[in-house]
Chains A and B, each alone.
Chain A
Amino acid sequence: AQSVSQHNHHVILSEAASLELGCNYSYGGTVNLFWYVQYPGQHLQLLLKYFSGDPLVKGIKGFEAEFIKSKFSFNLRKPSVQWSDTAEYFCAVKGGGATNKLIFGTGTLLAVQP
């Protein structure tokens, strides 16, 4: 069965610090990978996604993620965080099959201090 692990449950950073959130998945076949963000009191929004091609994916608001197949990882990065990046971040994976189902990680709560 597919699974997604986000090892950082709660991260606190100061503004301008660099961010890297870990995401590892377990699935041996072709995968599609996503990062979603949930700002306080809001619904989930797509940050970025990887389907194929260049393993370095750029998303909105200066976020990027790198797919490393050998490590089963899809870590999210941002060189310099802002207070407005305070949110919960979810990694998700879709493996084979026709149902388009996503498996979500448990989320990482990021708090950026001004």
Chain B
Amino acid sequence: NAGVTQTPKFRILKIGQSMTLQCTQDMNHNYMYWYRQDPGMGLKLIYYSVGAGITDKGEVPNGYNVSRSTTEDFPLRLELAAPSQTSVYFCASSYDGLAGGTDTQYFGPGTRLTVL
């Protein structure tokens, strides 16, 4: 298993540009998540999905969009990039067999995004 993979690893955007961060997992996990990590701030949840076709906002969703058309893929879209979106983005997945389950989240290697 490759686990959770993310592309690209690095990207520089100009203000106002758009891009999609890709995330794929091959563990048949039903839950998937997007976090951003900023120095001294820990990880903040942007969006999450409990299964294909179902997504919901996390703590910091503004400026982002997601979709979940398949179990494996959970792309994160930035429509109008802003300097405040400069961050490291991590995708994660977990398997939750029951509502309120407690399984471990597995993280991808991250995408380092700079908006100039």
Contact = CB atoms under 8 A, between A and B. Distances in A.
A43 B102 contact: no
B43 A90 contact: yes
Contacts of A34: 104
Contacts of A43: 90, 107-110
Interface in B19-76: 31, 33, 35, 40-45, 48, 50, 56, 58
B99 interface: yes
Interface of B: 31, 33, 35, 40-45, 48, 50, 56, 58, 90, 92, 94, 96, 99-110
Contacts, number: 58
Main SS of chain A's interface residues? loop
Contacts of B33: 101
B101 A100 contact: yes
Interface of A: 4, 9, 32, 34, 36, 42-46, 49, 51, 90, 94, 96-102, 104-107
